[in-house]
Structure 1
Amino acid sequence: MLARNFLQLSNIAIRGLTLVSKFLLIFFLARFLEPAELGIYGLLAATVGYSLYFLGFDFYTYSTRELLKRERHEWGALLKAQGALTLLLYVIFLPLLSLVFIKGMLPMKVVGWFFALLILEHLTQELGRLLIAVSDQLFASLVLFFRSGVWAVLITGLMFVEPDTRNLDMVFGAWTLGSMTALLLGIYRVKRMGLSGWRQDVDWSWIIKGLKVASALLIATLAIRGSFTLDRYWFQALAGLDALGAYVLFMGVCMALMSFLDAGVFAFIYPGLISAYQRRDPVGFHQGIRKLLLQTVGLCGIFSVVALVAIGPLLAWLGKPLYSDQRGLFVWILLATVFYAVSMIPHFGLYAQGRDKPIIHSHIASLIIFILATWIFAQAWPVLAVPLGLCVSFFVVLCWKTWSFFRLTPAPYRLFQS
């Protein structure tokens, strides 16, 4: 028990350092770059994040459950099959993603950085998910630290002491170097696991079966994450590229909450929920859901209070009136993020049971609701329309998933019982 607590504390500490690094990066970028440049950084980061789903096809949602159900000597064959699928998806989607530049959605000057970061981010993301699935959360945190933390600290320090480095090329170069280091670290760890089954032929029937499961979840993921990508492009259209810099800054601060929850709460609890349900252990499942509820709500509350108190002095430190003028956006972005975070409680409860339909339906509905709500709000409040649309969308998702969890979960597994 002591060793487990130490492991979780170490994991949270590493993830905490990663979050602090990302937090410092976004604020130093806001201080040292022009708002329009920060806007471009936000657009590229959001587009890379969204494009990852096409390269991965959300196949991990199927492969993770399969790994946890199989003996370890079978894992090599499963990972080899997933690797074959990844190569096929690269061949299909990498050429198609060039349309982002052909259509002028992103400037051509960042095309090389985009594809380099996209591939590195995808590979390191999949390795991190594998390490989490096999309960190697500490090493998964180390991979994430090199992927998102170390390079942010280094480039922040460099920009602070050397004004000539205050440009997007230096930022993207440091990001690429960090992701490459994380990739090598993850590969090393997987090789040390000594998995067998690599020499088996690729099981295409297993891949096809997985695609049927994952494709439905992919549609749901593309819908919910589409809101986090479309929002930046829509906000730019409504308020301009300079104001988008403020939106990217505030969204970066608020999404630190999700990163912390992923690291300190979700990564530890959801594999146990899956295992408890597979073992038909209602007591273990009930305890996991209760822990998930208390830790998620608690962290949301603490984060919200600290963020609301600190945002004023931080904006004053930046010394750029544009960001302070747009401060009204922050409260609504924070509220939307909290709705999204709390909705992950019933989300993982449903996912652990293999009840994917409510997740899929709610996510598809969320994008439709976001588009309609934002369009309506844009008629009267164009600058606030996007964050208000996110609030409405994620509140509906929260209600939908909560109701579905209590409706579909067998009585002994429910959090509250009559």
Structure 2
Amino acid sequence: MVAGAARLLNIGLRFGTLLTRFLFVFFLARYIDPTSVGYYGLFTATVSYGLYMVGLDFYVFLSREILQVSDDQRGAMLKGQLTLCGLLYVIVLPAFVLILMLEGWSTSLLCWFVPILALEHFNQEVSRLLVVLSDQVAASITLFVRQGSWAIAVVTLMIGFPESRNLNVIMALWACAGLAAGALGIWRLRQLPIGGWSKPIDWRWVGKGISVSAAFLVSTLALRGIQTADRYWMESLGGIEAVGAYVLFLGVAGTLMVFLDAGVFSFSYPALISHSHKQEYSLARKTVQQMFFQTVAMSVAFGLVSWALLPYLLHWVGKAVYQDAVGLYPWVLLAAITNAVGMVPHYALYARGFDKPIIYSHIAALPVFVISTWCLSKSHAELAVPISMTISFTLIMIWKAVAYHRLDTNHLPPKSSA
């Protein structure tokens, strides 16, 4: 009963965040010009890409390791991760900012980039840690503060005060929410039985983590490269207003993954890791099957509901640039669903420690995206980007599904790294 109540509360919190973010993109489209929506989309995509540069995907290694040690050893692990990230900020961030300056970013966006990147990174790592330690409700509360609260505040201000309808107000409230979520996350972590903070950093362990994470980082940067380059490529094909329309539809379709994270993945993948360590293959298989059917059911339901509601929401927004681009949405939605279904074998492989299919599929998807977009752009204009994303995610999904089928058939034991 307690577990069921926790899942319902978790889903409720995530659904509140999902609904808030779903509506937020429409309020943005209604109250600020399409050009600003486009720049907001470029900013968020670049922040998301930057998270991997300063985090090195170290959590991929940490998530498996931290569940295998006692509470009094976990603090030393986390201290090692914090130190590593601090070094990465010193090395990577100046070069990253210089590149953005050369790309012609405005001074105001550059000033917001560093604090928002740092806050998003810290809160993301805290949320991941809470999920791994099976404190999903606390993770969902911090997520709502981090993503939902400031969206509500922005919409309230834009409705009541027309002068607040600009990117600077949006960025300021985003940063304030990040600070609040960070404070809440620290408070919750202090309540958990995590000891060993006074122990010295095990640099050999950190080095092992870097070697494991580096392989994942290459694949993640390839995948995130698709989800960052798409906006910049869309700008080159249709202009910044086309990016605004694309971002609107991405915001709608992207809420599917938020809901799946809350109701399916955040509960299933810690169990998958546990079953894999114990070599309980029949239980792991059952969990994967449940994940698959739940993911497909939620994806179909989401697709039908969002497609039915979209014309009414676009009419409410009342701007022709979005209504004229509605043909983008079916492809954006299909890409989101394909990506969601592909996460089922992804988590199954990750839990067993078989990282190579994940890494190779992500790396292979990037040139497929580039080649597909280049070829299709000559005949399909802006549709080339979402069609190519669908092709790339389909490749990833099939690759991982085949790899998991072979793994499950052969009953191979868990691995510790790629």
Query: TM-score scaled by structure 1?
Result: 0.97
Which consecutive unaligned segments of at least 5 residues does structure 1 have?
Answer: none
Match of 2:308 in 1: 309
Cα shift at 1:20: 1.1
Aligned partner letter, 1:395: T
Q: What SS is found at the alignment partner of 1:135?
A: coil
Q: Deviations over 1:41-82 (max 9, x none)?
A: 000001001100011110000001000111111101111111
Cα shift at 1:379: 1.2
Q: What SS is found at the alignment partner of 1:217?
A: helix
CA–CA distance in structure 2, aligned partners of residues 248 and 106 of structure 1: 18
Match of 1:130 in 2: 129
- Does residue 108 of the first structure (1) align with residue 107 of the second (2)? yes
Cα shift at 1:411: 4.5
- Does residue 34 of the first structure (1) align with residue 33 of the second (2)? yes
CA–CA distance in structure 2, aligned partners of residues 385 and 264 of structure 1: 32
CA–CA distance in structure 2, aligned partners of residues 293 and 11 of structure 1: 20
Q: Deviations over 1:69-108 (max 9, x none)?
A: 1111110111111111111111111111112332225323
CA–CA distance in structure 1, aligned partners of residues 298 and 95 of structure 2: 40
Match of 1:342 in 2: 341
CA–CA distance in structure 1, aligned partners of residues 74 and 91 of structure 2: 26
Match of 1:50 in 2: 49
Aligned partner letter, 1:33: I
Cα shift at 1:298: 0.7
Instruction: Map residues 136-215 of structure 1 onto 2, 5 A cutoff.
Output: 136-215=135-214
Q: Deviations over 1:321-356 (max 9, x none)?
A: 110000000111111111111111111111111000
Instruction: Map residues 19-418 of structure 1 onto 2, 5 A cutoff.
Output: 19-104=18-103, 106-411=105-410
Q: What SS is found at the alignment partner of 1:379?
A: helix
Aligned partner letter, 1:290: Q
State the percentage of identical aligned residues.
42
CA contact (8 A) 1:286 1:413 kept: no
CA contact (8 A) 1:42 1:248 kept: yes
CA–CA distance in structure 2, aligned partners of residues 313 and 163 of structure 1: 24
Aligned partner letter, 1:51: G
CA contact (8 A) 1:285 1:413 kept: no
Q: What SS is found at the alignment partner of 2:390?
A: helix
Q: Tell me how large the CA RMSD over aligned residues is.
A: 1.2
Aligned partner letter, 2:337: V
Which consecutive unaligned segments of at least 5 residues does structure 2 have?
Answer: 414-418
CA contact (8 A) 2:108 2:168 kept: no
CA–CA distance in structure 1, aligned partners of residues 173 and 101 of structure 2: 26
Aligned partner letter, 2:124: Q
Structure 1 stretches of 4+ with a deviation exceeding 3 A read: 410-414
CA–CA distance in structure 1, aligned partners of residues 291 and 107 of structure 2: 43
Q: What SS is found at the alignment partner of 2:67?
A: helix
CA contact (8 A) 1:304 1:334 kept: yes
Q: Deviations over 1:288-342 (max 9, x none)?
A: 1011111111110000000111111110110101100000001111111111111
Cα shift at 1:413: 8.7
Aligned partner letter, 2:212: V
Aligned partner letter, 2:100: F
CA contact (8 A) 1:24 1:156 kept: no
CA–CA distance in structure 2, aligned partners of residues 338 and 299 of structure 1: 10
CA–CA distance in structure 1, aligned partners of residues 165 and 272 of structure 2: 45
Aligned partner letter, 1:35: P
Q: Deviations over 1:99-142 (max 9, x none)?
A: 23322253232111111100000000000001001000000001
Q: What SS is found at the alignment partner of 1:380?
A: helix
Cα shift at 1:412: 5.6
Q: What SS is found at the alignment partner of 2:47?
A: helix
Q: For the structure 1 residues 413 and 105, does the alpha-carbon distance in structure 2 shift closer, same or farther, using more than 3 Å as the test?
A: farther
Cα shift at 1:260: 1.2
CA–CA distance in structure 1, aligned partners of residues 384 and 243 of structure 2: 13
Cα shift at 1:225: 1.3
Q: How many residues align?
A: 413
CA contact (8 A) 1:101 1:107 kept: no
CA–CA distance in structure 2, aligned partners of residues 239 and 128 of structure 1: 36
CA contact (8 A) 2:71 2:193 kept: no
Q: What SS is found at the alignment partner of 1:97?
A: helix
